[in-house]
Amino acid sequence: MQTRCASQSTQFCETCLQRHPRRLDARIDLIAERYARSTTPWVVGYSGGKDSSAVLKLVYEALLRVPSRPSRVYVAYCDTGVEIPIIREQVRMTFARLRAEARSDGVPITIKIAEPKIEDRYFVKVIGRGYPPPTNKFRWCTDRLRIHPIKRLLSSRRAQGATVVVGTRFGESPERDRVLEEHAQGTDRFCFRQSGNTAVTLFAPIVDFEVTDVWKVLMTVQRPNAVDGRRVLKIYRDAGAECPVVRDEHGTPCGAGRFGCWTCTVVRKDQAVTSLVAQGYSEMRPLLLFRDWLAQVRDQRSARCGIRRNGTVGLGPLTIGTRMEALRRLQAAERDSGMSLISGEEIVAIRRLWDNDRTSGRYFE
Ligand code: SF4
pLDDT in tens, 285-308: 999 999 999 999 999 999 999 999
Nearest Cα residue to 267 out of 78, 138, 134, 82? 134
User: What is the rounded CA–CA span in Å between residue 188 and residue 184?
Assistant: 8
| Average pLDDT over the chain, rounded to an integer | 87
Q: Is the pLDDT of residue 243 over 50?
A: no
Cα-Cα-Cα-Cα dihedral sign, residues 99, 103, 104, 106: positive
Is there an atom of ligand 1 within 6 Å of 255 CB?
A: yes
Task: Label residue 255 by pLDDT band (50, 70, 90).
Answer: very low
Q: What pLDDT score does 10 carry?
A: 42
Quick one: average pLDDT of 232-252?
A: 61
Is there an atom of ligand 1 within 6 Å of 227 CB?
A: no
Quick one: average pLDDT of 277-285?
A: 94
Q: What pLDDT score does 187 carry?
A: 80
Burial 164-192 (b: 16+ CB within 10 A, else e): bbbbbbbebeeebeebbeeeeeeeeebbb
| CA distance readout (Å), 37 to 25, 31, 43, 361 | 19, 10, 15, 61
* Residue nearest atom 2 in ligand 1 by C-alpha distance: 264
* Residue nearest atom 6 in ligand 1 by C-alpha distance: 254
Q: Where is average pLDDT lowest: 23-27, 57-61, 90-94?
A: 23-27
Q: What pLDDT score does 19 carry?
A: 52
Is there an atom of ligand 1 within 6 Å of 87 CB?
A: no
Quick one: average pLDDT of 124-141?
A: 96
Q: Is the pLDDT of residue 20 over 60?
A: no
Task: Identify the CATH assignment for 18-118+140-227 out of 3.40.50.2300, 3.40.50.620, 3.40.50.300, 3.40.50.20.
Answer: 3.40.50.620
Q: What pLDDT score does 1 carry?
A: 34
Q: What pLDDT score does 246 carry?
A: 40
Q: What pLDDT score does 180 carry?
A: 83
Distance 266 CA to ligand 1 centre (A): 7
Q: Is the pLDDT of residue 198 over 70?
A: no
Distance 264 CA to ligand 1 centre (A): 5
Angle between helices 50-65 and 229-239 (to 10 degrees): 170
Strongest mean pLDDT among 99-103, 193-197, 303-307, 312-316: 99-103
How many residues does this entry show for the chain?
365
Q: Which residue would you say has higher pLDDT here, 260 or 317?
A: 317
Is there an atom of ligand 1 within 6 Å of 266 CB?
A: yes
* Residue nearest atom 3 in ligand 1 by C-alpha distance: 264
Q: Is the pLDDT of residue 248 over 50?
A: no
Q: Is the pLDDT of residue 257 over 80?
A: no
Is there an atom of ligand 1 within 6 Å of 128 CB?
A: no
Task: Label residue 267 by pLDDT band (50, 70, 90).
Answer: confident
Q: What pLDDT score does 239 carry?
A: 85
Q: Return the percentage of the chain with pLDDT > 90, whole number.
A: 70
Q: Is the pLDDT of residue 5 over 60?
A: no
Is there an atom of ligand 1 within 6 Å of 142 CB?
A: yes
> How much is the pTM?
0.86
* Residue nearest atom 5 in ligand 1 by C-alpha distance: 142
Q: What pLDDT score does 50 carry?
A: 92
What atom of ligand 1 comes closest to residue 253's alpha carbon?
Answer: 7
Q: What pLDDT score does 22 carry?
A: 74
Q: Is the pLDDT of residue 189 over 90?
A: no
Quick one: average pLDDT of 155-168?
A: 89
Residue ranges of domains in the chain: 18-118+140-227
Q: Which residue would you say has higher pLDDT here, 198 or 155?
A: 155
Q: Among 80, 84, 142, say which to mutate for ligand 1: greatest number of ligand atoms within 8 Å of CB.
A: 142
Is there an atom of ligand 1 within 6 Å of 132 CB?
A: no
Quick one: average pLDDT of 328-334?
A: 98
Q: What pLDDT score does 360 carry?
A: 84
Distance 124 CA to ligand 1 centre (A): 15
Q: Is the pLDDT of residue 4 over 80?
A: no
State phi, psi for 280 to the nearest 5 degrees. Answer: 105, 0
Distance 342 CA to ligand 1 centre (A): 17
- Strand ranges (DSSP E) for the chain? 42-45, 73-78, 109-114, 163-165, 184-185, 188-194, 197-203
Is there an atom of ligand 1 within 6 Å of 317 CB?
A: no
Q: Which residue would you say has higher pLDDT here, 144 or 197?
A: 144
Whether the CB-CB separation of 111 and 95 falls below 8 Å is answered with: yes
For residue 131, what are the contacts with CB-CB under 8 A and spacing of at least 6?
125, 140, 317, 318
Whether the CB-CB separation of 204 and 247 falls below 8 Å is answered with: no
What atom of ligand 1 comes closest to residue 263's alpha carbon?
Answer: 3
